Structure 1
Amino acid sequence: MSAIRLAIVRQKYNPHGGAERFVSRALDALAQQRALEVTLLARAWRQGAQGWRCETVDPPYLGRLARDAGFAYAARRRFAGFDLVQSHERIPGAAIFRAGDGVHATWLAQWAKSGGLAGRLRPRLSPYHRYLCRAEAEMFAHPALRTVICNSAMVRDDIATRFGVPQHKLALIYNGIDTSVFHPDLAAQRTGWRSDHAIPQQAPLLAYVGSGFARKGVAVALAAIAAHPGVYLALAGADKHALRYRREAERLGVAERVRFLGALADVKPLYGAADALILPTLYDPFPNVCIEALACGLPLFTSPQCGAAEWLHPGTNGWVADALDVAGHQANLGAWLAHRDDWPALRAAARATAEPYTLERMADELAALYRQILQ
């Protein structure tokens, strides 16, 4: 059987984006499958190809609606040259859609909960959000769609309920990571990293990793540690409103215990220095940072709106509270702090949770899915 000509579609590259990190890892892993000939269709990609190639699809645009619609039109014209097309964008006509960004309509509903009247009106008034919701609905109803790859049961069940996609079209394939790189041995960097950032060696340290502070719950994380003197928080990520959150840390009286690190090219030293990861996100299908942190032996504090919550057993490898439930997150931190003697067991359970989800496993599951579709 000749190699399967597979196109992966992702419009843009963000070096700090979780979806882009997934695509980069998936491309490299899939390229090792001899039965696949992998091509990325993108406006631009800043990482070098390793056994796969990149075709540039970069039509001119003015504004984000024209950007997305123009890319969708131009990319769709390339689909005929491949045996299979796996889109990571909401483009009707691809055989496979990977719902790594979740359901846009669900994200807007979650956003409205924290945005007041403006949050409720935003989707109705924004041509861009109306376009995305329309493209999303058209894509799920398109006759060419064979399979939707979901990275969490949360997203799978949401798509089935909201769009009526039958179960046989919904494949649950969790993200994979290099578990030899994201490993509890990173704790060897703990002493040096903490010293460099003026964090006491024995102080409980929470890591936060992610851009988009409003969506991922930085305000709640700051309020959560305010109830627990002595707990430090290190925030890695970019946000154009970062100054607002610095001021919020000052208002809460926790500024001396918070480190705003900005976007980091390498988050592994932070994982090695931290004791847990906090991500009280409003909506996240299944963030890579959660798998990375678990693989490094960090228990998670997150929300039920995060796909990673389905891997957690409260008190064993993490805790869950609603994204907007400050008191709930404070209580969860209190439970964690009250059982410090159990932290080694928590770390071991976190590592065991992520250990099976290797890049090789993900690539094998994807390749098996492609063969099944073509047969």
Structure 2
Amino acid sequence: MRVALVIDHLDAGRGGAEGYAGTLAGGLLHRGHQVHVFAHSFRCELQGIRTHHLPMMRYPRGAKALSLCVAARGRLRRERFDIVQGFGATWGVDVHRPGGGSERAWMAREMASYPPGWRRWLAGIRLRLACKLAVNLWVEGRLYGEGELPLVVANSSMVARDLMRAYPRLDPGRLRVIPNGVDLNRFSPDNRSRWRAELRRRLGLSEDQVAMLFLAHNFRLKGLGCLLSALEQGVEGRFVLLVAGRGKREPYQTRARGIKIPVLFLGAVDNPQLLMSGVDLLVHPTFYDPCANVCLEAMASGLPVLTTAWNGASELVEDGVSGYVVPDPRDTGMLRDKIAALGDERLRQSMGEAARKSVEKISVDWHVDKVEALYREAVSLRGCAASPR
């Protein structure tokens, strides 16, 4: 097939939809499809993938998404593709994947991530006045609330429920749930024998310390504040917390000084598989994640995962078997208790093995199989034949 993918940025380093789109493009190319990516910027391996730059207005912020939609629509009209898949704020496509989940659900959880009081009140005003959010909600409403719908692929049942709740006119017959795939070779328990000892030596960790990993790019939304609150209550055992990612670290570093266990801030990481080989569990107490790749990658690495029900990836975590799922990240007492339980080495070992088994069914190859089937369905619904080019 001749496939077009439309996204604002193609960037493996960003994670989320931007990184996923690069993985999907590579998987489709490997299957013999001709892959074109329409985006404003490109920051990942692109050998064999045909790229098309889309202009995007920088100011005001709300104009960014709208200008990208208009530019993509104009370019796509001049070329013929068997399938056009859009991510996030795009329309006029055959298949649509809401990259960040439902905008309305995200907005509610974004508000919840602020502490009660004037900060939450101010954040609510700022969100309601934000041009970018207004445009994204308008585009989302145009996609799901009116007119002829594309096939919609959600990466978790949670996202599918959020969309149906926000847009009752969305035809459930057009909605498909396909979890993200995970690279089972790149993220593997075998990495421990290769890199664990050296990594822990560099970080100054002894083998009897239990290393928790928090890896995210938005520390507030992903629940780092809740995690620190849980640790402030005290947790027995030789725990150490590693905080990695591009989030704003300064306010959290200040809080971490009052915690009895060591807290190391590592900054951005380019090879998370190396870091996961040297830690003992992942803690991801997020307020909102459509399907957090970091959780799938940790599970593939043989790590137990502690996350929340507000993470679509929690659907793959069997509570008490392959990790723990807490209902609400603000329940810091429960969060502390689950961390304490994971101080048991035998429990971590059994949970890590179960975690690996649970994600072995969602490899990248499996995911591309599902996407190809979705494309064939979209072509059939459109009433035209598809032939590889």
Of 139-148 and 342-351, the range deviating more from structure 2: 139-148
Q: How does 1:83-98 map to 2 (within 5 A)?
A: 83-98=82-97
The equivalent residue for 1:222 is: 228
Any idea what SS the aligned residue of 1:214 has? coil
Whether the 8 Å CA contact 2:113–2:220 is kept in 1: the answer is no
The equivalent residue for 1:149 is: 153
Whether the 8 Å CA contact 2:65–2:89 is kept in 1: the answer is no
The equivalent residue for 1:109 is: 108
Q: Is 1:248 the counterpart of 2:255 in the alignment? A: yes
Whether the 8 Å CA contact 2:113–2:221 is kept in 1: the answer is no
The equivalent residue for 2:303 is: 298
What is the CA–CA distance in structure 2 between the aligned matches of 1:193 and 1:114, rounded to whole Å? 33
Q: How does 1:23-42 map to 2 (within 5 A)?
A: 23-34=21-32, 36-42=33-39
What is the CA–CA distance in structure 2 between the aligned matches of 1:102 and 1:289, rounded to whole Å? 16
Q: How does 1:1-375 map to 2 (within 5 A)?
A: 4-14=1-11, 15-34=13-32, 36-80=33-77, 81=79, 82-115=81-114, 116-164=120-168, 165-188=170-193, 189-226=195-232, 227-229=234-236, 230-239=238-247, 241-254=248-261, 257-321=262-326, 322-337=328-343, 339-375=344-380
Shift of 1:341: 2.2
**Which amino acid in 2 is paired with 1:87?**
G
Of 106-115 and 285-294, the range deviating more from structure 2: 106-115
Whether the 8 Å CA contact 2:302–2:356 is kept in 1: the answer is yes
What is the CA–CA distance in structure 1 between the aligned matches of 2:48 and 2:225, rounded to whole Å? 42
What is the CA–CA distance in structure 1 between the aligned matches of 2:104 and 2:341, rounded to whole Å? 35
What is the CA–CA distance in structure 2 between the aligned matches of 1:175 and 1:113, rounded to whole Å? 26
- Considering only aligned residues, what root-mean-square deviation do their CA atoms show, in Å? 1.6
What is the CA–CA distance in structure 2 between the aligned matches of 1:369 and 1:51, rounded to whole Å? 23
Shift of 1:180: 1.4
Any idea what SS the aligned residue of 2:349 has? helix
What is the CA–CA distance in structure 2 between the aligned matches of 1:351 and 1:23, rounded to whole Å? 24
Shift of 1:142: 4.6
What is the CA–CA distance in structure 1 between the aligned matches of 2:284 and 2:205, rounded to whole Å? 20
What is the CA–CA distance in structure 2 between the aligned matches of 1:53 and 1:298, rounded to whole Å? 37
Any idea what SS the aligned residue of 1:215 has? coil
What is the CA–CA distance in structure 1 between the aligned matches of 2:148 and 2:40, rounded to whole Å? 24
Shift of 1:17: 2.4
CA deviations on 1:266-308 (whole Å, 9 max, x unpaired) are 1111100111101101100001111110000011111110011
Shift of 1:328: 1.4
Q: Which runs of 5+ in 2 are unaligned?
A: 115-119, 381-389
Whether the 8 Å CA contact 1:210–1:236 is kept in 2: the answer is yes
Any idea what SS the aligned residue of 2:257 has? helix
What is the CA–CA distance in structure 2 between the aligned matches of 1:233 and 1:93, rounded to whole Å? 45
Shift of 1:50: 3.4
**Which amino acid in 1 is paired with 2:19?**
R
Any idea what SS the aligned residue of 1:45 has? strand
Shift of 1:60: 4.0
Q: Which runs of 5+ in 1 are unaligned?
A: none
Q: TM-score of the superposition, structure 1-length normalised?
A: 0.93
C-alpha change, 1:60 and 1:146, in structure 2 (3 Å) is: closer
C-alpha change, 1:73 and 1:125, in structure 2 (3 Å) is: same
Any idea what SS the aligned residue of 2:291 has? coil
Whether the 8 Å CA contact 1:216–1:281 is kept in 2: the answer is yes
What is the CA–CA distance in structure 1 between the aligned matches of 2:335 and 2:82, rounded to whole Å? 47
Whether the 8 Å CA contact 1:97–1:145 is kept in 2: the answer is no
Shift of 1:143: 3.2
Whether the 8 Å CA contact 2:60–2:131 is kept in 1: the answer is no
Whether the 8 Å CA contact 1:33–1:367 is kept in 2: the answer is no
Whether the 8 Å CA contact 2:181–2:366 is kept in 1: the answer is yes
What is the CA–CA distance in structure 1 between the aligned matches of 2:352 and 2:145, rounded to whole Å? 43
What is the CA–CA distance in structure 2 between the aligned matches of 1:236 and 1:57, rounded to whole Å? 32
What is the CA–CA distance in structure 1 between the aligned matches of 2:377 and 2:14, rounded to whole Å? 33
Whether the 8 Å CA contact 1:90–1:139 is kept in 2: the answer is no
What is the CA–CA distance in structure 1 between the aligned matches of 2:74 and 2:88, rounded to whole Å? 15
What is the CA–CA distance in structure 2 between the aligned matches of 1:51 and 1:177, rounded to whole Å? 22
Any idea what SS the aligned residue of 2:220 has? helix
Whether the 8 Å CA contact 2:62–2:130 is kept in 1: the answer is no
CA deviations on 1:7-62 (whole Å, 9 max, x unpaired) are 1111124423222221111110011223x321100012122323321111124432
CA deviations on 1:310-344 (whole Å, 9 max, x unpaired) are 1122211111121221111001112222x432322
Whether the 8 Å CA contact 2:10–2:21 is kept in 1: the answer is no
Whether the 8 Å CA contact 1:223–1:252 is kept in 2: the answer is no
